[in-house]
Amino acid sequence: MIKVVKFGGSSLASAEQFRKVVEIIRADPERRFVIPSAPGKRSKDDTKVTDMLYACQAKAAAGGDYGEELEAIRLRYGEIIRGLSLELSLEGEFDTIDRRLREGAGKDYAASRGEYLNGIIMAACLKCTFIDAAEVIVFDETGNFDADATNRRMAARLEAEEYAVIPGFYGADASGRIRTFSRGGSDITGSIVARAVHAEVYENWTDVSGFLIADPRIIPNPVGIDTITYRELRELSYMGATVLHEDAIFPVRKEGIPINIRNTNAPEDNGTWIVESTCQKSRFVITGIAGKRGFCSINIEKDMMNSEIGFGRKVLQAFEDNGISFEHIPSGIDTLTVFVHQDEFMDKEQKVVSAIHRLADPDTIDIESDLALIAVVGRGMKSTRGTAGRIFSALAHANVNVKMIDQGSSELNIIIGVRNEDFEAAIRAIYNIFVLIQL
């Protein structure tokens, strides 16, 4: 069995954390390919190394002196190396970073050095091969990731390696220019490696024991999720659940490789398994609850709207022409409501309203702001009667007024719209009716 293991920034923030990671890797010889992130925060008031590198590049680009910032990064890695008692020097690497910054290296290059340096340290700890991600992660000249070229190159490079460390977050284009994924992109690198080596499992180690049914900032000590499908995770990630970078799902999903979210500080916990499909029933009807504030609704009314061919397209063209994407579109016989992000819409609202009138000729348009959307997700809802009714009942008892409810044809999720100020009360009410009542 081949396991690919990725460790997040909090798992590699200090020498003490590094030692935990090394013990985890050595405890299982099937953990053959390791993807490290850059050092994260050691405490609440600490700064991530990636942010420190961004600061260096910004000063360099402005022609300023970044020596103090670069020295702080050098000291940070020095502490890790000394704490691990390694015979390793990164002085040459820092000289190269300094030179490249003075030569005008961009943000992607600067940010990638955190993972690059941590990868060198990890390979020294494990006494295995270090592979620069720039050699195996392929981007095109416009900065878009090339999945097929990467898979071919990665598979060929790792075929001869029994154990290797590949730093996350970055790659390079054909000219050798460093390119990065979005923040949290080390998750994506781990997924790419797992696909290339046909891993049986992709373990993603972080500072929590998997996914929780609800946000712990709203629900004290929420129950954990044992197993979740890719589709359920996609729905929850889209609505704000952020344990795993959502783009990390796609490479492993193609190969049917499960992801196991684990806790570096509690390696005995089973964590959460993310799978394509499962016959295992959820402990509860719902798998998870997630949501976001800051939406507004544009309610369009027109008599006989349902019989007018192309009405919906005309309405959405008004949003498209103004560069605004929509979130949800519940509709009735003579009404259609479009939910959008309020911060994207506010400065363009009158342009959009004018465009809707011009293109679709509605009877009235009404805008409501300061709304929140909550996703209640679960594969168990499909085979359970009365789920929507229980949600309505729970919200009514919590004195929460429902502004919108929308259920997709898959019956995998129900989206509820409420006022911003009712957001947390609504989540607590839904959690209580589906989870607490069964504990």
Beta strands 288-301 and 335-341 are antiparallel
DSSP class of 280: P
Question: Is 428's pLDDT higher than 80?
Answer: yes
Domain with CATH 3.40.1160.10 in the chain: 3-207
- Token look-up 């270090």 returns 130
Least confident window among 85-99, 271-285, 390-404: 271-285
Q: What is the pLDDT of residues 117-127, one digit of tens each?
A: 999 999 999 99
Please give the pLDDT value at position 399.
96
Question: Is 69's pLDDT higher than 70?
Answer: yes
Q: Give φ, ψ of 193 to 5 degrees.
A: -65, -45
Please give the pLDDT value at position 385.
83
Please give the pLDDT value at position 57.
97
Mean pLDDT within 267-286: 89
Mean pLDDT within 180-204: 93
Can you read off the two tokens belonging to residue 133? Answer: 């991600």
Q: Does residue 49 contact residue 39 with C-beta atoms inside 8 Å?
A: yes
Q: What is the pLDDT of residues 207-252, one digit of tens each?
A: 989 899 999 999 999 999 999 998 888 888 777 767 787 788 888 9
Q: Between 370 and 247, where is the model more confident?
A: 370
Q: How confident is the model at residue 396 (pLDDT cuts 50, 70, 90)?
A: very high
- Token look-up 């490079």 returns 157
Q: Domain 288-438's class? A: alpha beta
> What does the alpha-carbon distance between residue 352 and residue 109 come to, in Å, rounded to a whole number?
40
Domain with CATH 3.30.2130.10 in the chain: 288-438
Please give the pLDDT value at position 246.
73
Cα of 410 vs its chain's centroid, Å: 23
Can you read off the two tokens belonging to residue 343? Answer: 């911060």
Question: Is 263's pLDDT higher than 90?
Answer: yes
Q: Which helix (H) or strand (E) holds 20?
A: helix 15-26
Q: Does residue 190 contact residue 202 with C-beta atoms inside 8 Å?
A: yes
Percentage above 70 pLDDT, the chain? 99
Please give the pLDDT value at position 231.
86
Q: What is the pLDDT of residues 331-355, one digit of tens each?
A: 888 999 999 999 999 999 999 999 9
Residue count (the chain): 439
Can you read off the two tokens belonging to residue 91? Answer: 């002085």
Percentage above 90 pLDDT, the chain? 80
Please give the pLDDT value at position 439.
65
Q: How confident is the model at residue 410 (pLDDT cuts 50, 70, 90)?
A: low
Backbone region of residue 74 per phi and psi (left: phi > 0; alpha: psi in -120 to 50; beta: other values): alpha
| CATH architecture entry for 3-207 | 3-Layer(aba) Sandwich (3.40)
Distance (Å) of CA 188 to CA 7, 148, 247, 337 = 12, 14, 6, 35
Question: Is 409's pLDDT higher than 70?
Answer: no
Please give the pLDDT value at position 239.
76
> What does the alpha-carbon distance between residue 231 and residue 228 come to, in Å, rounded to a whole number?
8
Q: Cβ-count burial of 6 within 10 angstroms (0-12 exposed, 13-18 middle, 19+ buried)?
A: buried
Q: What is the reported pTM?
A: 0.86
Please give the pLDDT value at position 257.
94
Mean pLDDT within 397-418: 87
Q: What is the pLDDT of residues 48-58, one digit of tens each?
A: 999 999 999 99
- Token look-up 């989540």 returns 427
Q: What is the pLDDT of residues 146-176, one digit of tens each?
A: 999 999 999 999 999 999 999 999 999 999 9
Q: How confident is the model at residue 384 (pLDDT cuts 50, 70, 90)?
A: confident
Q: Between 438 and 191, where is the model more confident?
A: 191
> What does the alpha-carbon distance between residue 17 and residue 398 come to, in Å, rounded to a whole number?
43
Mean pLDDT within 289-305: 95
Q: How confident is the model at residue 411 (pLDDT cuts 50, 70, 90)?
A: confident
Distance (Å) of CA 138 to CA 184, 300, 432 = 18, 46, 47
